[in-house]
A and B are shown apart, each in its own frame.
Chain A
């Protein structure tokens, strides 16, 4: 009964933070806006019944990845972008095309998805850690193991890139 106002509130926060991310000139303001987007998306995941993913979103994305971003921004002492941008022509061509694509996508979504397809709060019961873990360690075991190799490669890449002599 509260899910429509909750959805509208947090969707508005997410869109406002996303637009603020693009419009701010200082990277720290953009990073804080991105944290806002991720937090409101976590609330939307809860509305969709994904408790585990909502927790992971807050811990991994808003916690770990954004701390890494803010750390790098502070480390490099990144200042505000110089304005005006030299890519005015590219923006003038790309932005209308992009937003036309989004409008077309919205029209296609509203015509293709049946009107009765609604998200009933509490109907989806599989979003807990138990069912996700069971699926992850049975059907998706091979992708899960390959992911560990991916993370190993990422660690090695970060170490090699962070050496002194490159």
Chain B
């Protein structure tokens, strides 16, 4: 029996896509060393969670998931402003963007 495309997109496809994006972001967070790229991987994880919120909002027929993802976007904007300011300060003081070299809090 050949694989038949469904007429409508199942809800699970959206959730699986969200899981794939989240895991990709987490993997990038672990293996990358450039502090800006690590920060972008965090944004990718936030986006994956937003997709889950919107999918369940659609499945339940309620608008609350949209509100939550709206708040996630606000928090992400605030986090980006503060985080990039921290990155600028780190670069000003140490002239490096490698996260392995910023280890003065290490025991």
B55 near A119 with CB under 8 A, answer yes
Residues of chain B with a CB closer than 8 A to A150's CB: 74-75, 78
Residues of chain B with a CB closer than 8 A to A151's CB: 74, 77-78
Shortest beta-carbon distance from A93 to chain B in Å: 9
Partner of A41, one of B10, B34, B51, B70: B51
Partner of B19, one of A4, A34, A105: A105
A154 near B78 with CB under 8 A, answer yes
Number of B residues with CB within 8 Å of any CB on chain A: 73
- Chain B binding surface, main DSSP class: helix
Known interface pairs A56-B73, A98-B27, A101-B23. Does A68 touch B84 (Cβ–Cβ under 8 Å)?
A: yes
Residues of chain B whose beta carbon lies under 8 Å from any beta carbon of chain A: 5-17, 19-28, 30-34, 36-37, 39-41, 43-44, 47, 50-51, 54-55, 57-59, 61-64, 66-67, 69-71, 73-82, 84-89, 91, 93, 97-98, 100
Residues of chain A whose beta carbon lies under 8 Å from any beta carbon of chain B: 1, 3-4, 7, 11, 14-15, 18-19, 21-22, 27, 30-31, 34, 37-38, 41, 44-45, 47-50, 52-53, 56-57, 60-61, 64-65, 68-69, 72-73, 75-76, 78, 81-82, 85-87, 90-91, 94-95, 98-99, 101-102, 105-106, 109-110, 113, 115, 117-121, 123-124, 126-127, 131-132, 135-136, 140, 143, 147, 150-151, 153-155, 157-158, 161-162, 166
